[in-house]
């Protein structure tokens, strides 16, 4: 799997991304076998800016109106239940004529471009340790629940039922916690932590052995207030309530140097650091080291680097909020699926996509608070300075994804898989779902015992295949050049983001980096003749068909080979969008 990577605006220290992989392939003469229609026989009639998604599970051909019409053609495998490996297919013209039957470059998974210098620039590597650590914890939690090793002991409480709350301890009181101190082997260290802030939503504890020169009392209060009154409500409003197995009516935020020490000093500059985490162990295990409550673990300030990497109070304020929003979504999702609904944890790719949406919601909070040109070091910035810690990574990751939409599956990855591009793809999918179905879909996805594509279909009230078809189109048709965005159907655009404007800005500020090869990452391949290519299940490829003015219809063939249908287990389908003239 190729890796990619994060950041944006003048905020950028340039980051990973390998350019789209393509290789020239000979174009065979159009086959004479016209195959069996994918859907109903006849011509699919589309007006400008209209679209259709047609399943090709029992046929291979789709006939479109010609006469100079132009189309975006997006073949895809709309499944989350397949092996994550490339599947060969062919696509081409079998009837009628296109404007220019010339050899074309088909997308290829076989050739990775080589760039000078390190494979992963420093800006991305500084996220590596947090992503890997978070992934291992979440995957372990899923496996432990799946195997039956963990079983929540808390009694389930019906929504709205009265619960006898535990009295909140007094400020300055000290409590014992067990904090994960080693991944391999798994070990916990007992610590004493002082309750330093009591809010409406959180209880903030600080380890009694935190290094000197940390928070002042005013800084600690401001830190607690930010998490209690700004950040917690962002996730609560979007994703719903976490469980409350300790029945204290609060989320515990525990800051401990044990978390700092999870990062070796030698890797601070190259891999970054563990900034915070949620442990399913605390909700689903009866082990004596489980704290039996809803807890977010994070760093303490350590400006003198006495434990590991140096972290000032300002560093924590810049870095921890996005991690908190990300991990709190994981906590809410896990507690609802496993504790409240007695089901399995959400599949890694969807859970991660939702957690990246949680980070983005932090950015949107500050974007609304500081509309242009307020709150920006440079008036040219798309995002205010206060948004950068929330939004920069997902922008780079999603650009990376759009360079390799035929490779980076959005429906088959787990948190155990490395790579940044698939995370960018799953953020785009989760963001699009929220735009099209309304933000309430996030709570529906979380308050469920379903997972993956079945969960999405249930929450959206329609088949996943139909959703995936329109999502695939929206990746390209959002903000089409020369077309007012309001004219594009709601299903084929993003409401909150303008993709071309975002990626244009990323390109402009990259300083000519080869990791960001063009203003918009997706390239459409001219559809002509018969092209052999491949895709991974849960991905799509982008082609363009310009019909000749003298052709009344054009027929496309999409199959394992010309005229031979792909297996229906892949959910093969063609999404087609009629592009405005001249676009």
Bridge partners (DSSP) of residue 216 are: none
CA dihedral 222, 227, 233, 234 (to 10 degrees): 110
Residues, the chain = 583
Question: Which of 22-31, 102-111, 531-540 is predicted most confidently?
Answer: 531-540
For residue 13, pLDDT beyond 90:
no
pLDDT attached to residue 282: 95
Residue 236 CA to residue 253 CA, distance in Å, equals 15
- Residues 6 or more apart whose CB falls under 8 angstroms from that of 388 comprise 8, 9, 11
Bridge partners (DSSP) of residue 555 are: 63, 95
Residue 153 CA to residue 155 CA, distance in Å, equals 6
Quick one: how far is CA 371 from the chain centroid?
Answer: 25
For residue 580, pLDDT beyond 70:
yes
271 vs 575, which has greater pLDDT?
Answer: 575
Query: Quick one: which of 4, 5, 11, 3 has its CA closest to 505?
Result: 11
For residue 117, pLDDT beyond 50:
no
pLDDT attached to residue 95: 77
Residue 353 CA to residue 304 CA, distance in Å, equals 35
Banded pLDDT at 581 (limits 50, 70, 90): confident
Residues 328-345 have a mean pLDDT of 96
For residue 514, pLDDT beyond 80:
no
- pTM greater than 0.75: yes
Banded pLDDT at 22 (limits 50, 70, 90): very low
Query: Quick one: which of 115, 119, 129 has its CA closest to 1?
Result: 119
For residue 171, pLDDT beyond 80:
yes
**Cβ-contact 254, 177 below 8 angstroms:** yes
% of the chain exceeding 90 in pLDDT: 76
For residue 305, pLDDT beyond 80:
yes
pLDDT attached to residue 123: 53
* Residue found under tokens 């309430």: 440
For residue 11, pLDDT beyond 60:
no
- Residues 6 or more apart whose CB falls under 8 angstroms from that of 73 comprise 91, 527, 542, 543, 544, 545, 556, 574, 575, 576
Residue 259 CA to residue 276 CA, distance in Å, equals 7
Residue 317 CA to residue 299 CA, distance in Å, equals 11
Strand-pair category, 251-255 with 295-298: parallel
Mean pLDDT of the chain: 87
Banded pLDDT at 152 (limits 50, 70, 90): confident
What separation, in Å, do the N-terminal and C-terminal C-alpha atoms of the chain show? Answer: 33
């Amino acid at each position: 799997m190729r890796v990619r990577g994060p950041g944006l605006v003048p905020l950028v220290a340039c980051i990973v991304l390998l350019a789209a992989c393509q290789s020239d392939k000979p174009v065979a003469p159009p086959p004479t076998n016209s195959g069996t229609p994918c859907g109903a026989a006849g011509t699919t009639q589309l007006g400008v800016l209209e679209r259709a998604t047609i399943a090709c599970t029992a046929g291979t051909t789709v006939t479109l109106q010609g006469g100079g019409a132009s189309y975006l053609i997006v073949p895809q495998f709309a499944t989350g239940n397949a092996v994550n490996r490339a599947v060969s297919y062919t696509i081409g013209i079998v009837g009628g004529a296109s404007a220019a039957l010339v050899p074309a470059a088909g997308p290829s998974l076989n050739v990775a471009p080589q760039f000078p210098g390190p494979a992963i620039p420093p800006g991305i590597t500084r996220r590596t340790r947090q992503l890997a650590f978070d992934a291992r914890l979440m995957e372990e939690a899923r496996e432990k629940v799946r195997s039956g090793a963990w079983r929540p002991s808390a009694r389930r409480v019906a929504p709205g039922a009265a619960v006898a709350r535990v009295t909140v301890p007094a400020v300055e009181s000290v409590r014992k916690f067990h904090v994960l101190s080693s991944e391999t082997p798994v070990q916990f260290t007992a610590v004493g932590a002082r309750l330093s802030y009591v809010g409406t939503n959180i209880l903030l504890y600080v380890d009694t052995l935190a290094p000197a020169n940390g928070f002042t009392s005013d800084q600690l209060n401001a830190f607690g207030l930010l998490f209690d009154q700004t950040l917690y409500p962002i996730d609560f409003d979007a994703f719903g309530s976490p469980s409350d197995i300790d029945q204290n009516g609060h989320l515990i935020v525990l800051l401990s140097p044990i978390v700092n020490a999870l990062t070796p000093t030698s890797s601070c500059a190259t891999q970054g650091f563990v900034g915070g985490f949620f442990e399913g162990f605390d909700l689903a295990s009866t082990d004596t080291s489980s704290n039996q409550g809803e807890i977010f673990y994070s760093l303490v300030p350590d400006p003198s680097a006495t434990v590991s990497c140096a972290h000032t109070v300002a560093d924590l304020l810049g870095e921890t909020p996005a991690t908190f929003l990300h991990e709190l979504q994981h906590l809410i999702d896990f507690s609802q699926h496993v504790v409240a609904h007695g089901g399995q944890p959400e599949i890694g790719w969807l859970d991660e996509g939702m957690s990246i949406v949680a980070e983005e919601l932090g950015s949107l909070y500050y974007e609304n608070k500081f509309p242009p040109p307020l709150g920006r070091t440079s008036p040219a910035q798309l995002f205010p300075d206060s948004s950068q810690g929330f939004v920069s990574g997902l922008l780079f990751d999603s650009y990376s994804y759009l360079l390799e939409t035929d490779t980076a599956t959005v429906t088959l990855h787990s948190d155990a898989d490395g790579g940044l591009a698939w995370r960018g793809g799953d953020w785009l999918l989760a963001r699009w779902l929220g735009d099209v179905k309304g933000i309430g879909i996030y709570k529906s996805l979380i308050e469920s015992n379903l997972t993956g594509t079945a969960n999405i279909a249930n929450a959206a009230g329609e088949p996943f295949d139909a959703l995936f078809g329109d999502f695939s189109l929206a990746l390209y048709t959002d903000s089409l050049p020369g077309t007012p965005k309001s004219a594009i159907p709601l299903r084929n655009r993003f409401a909150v983001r303008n993709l071309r404007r975002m990626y244009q800005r990323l390109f402009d500020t990259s300083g000519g980096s080869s990791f960001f090869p063009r203003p918009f990452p997706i390239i459409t391949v001219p559809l002509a003749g018969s092209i052999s290519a491949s895709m991974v299940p849960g991905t799509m490829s982008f082609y363009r068909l310009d019909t000749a003015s003298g052709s009344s219809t054009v027929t496309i063939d999409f199959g394992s080979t010309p005229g031979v249908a792909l297996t229906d287990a892949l959910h093969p389908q063609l999404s087609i969008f009629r592009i405005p003239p001249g676009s």
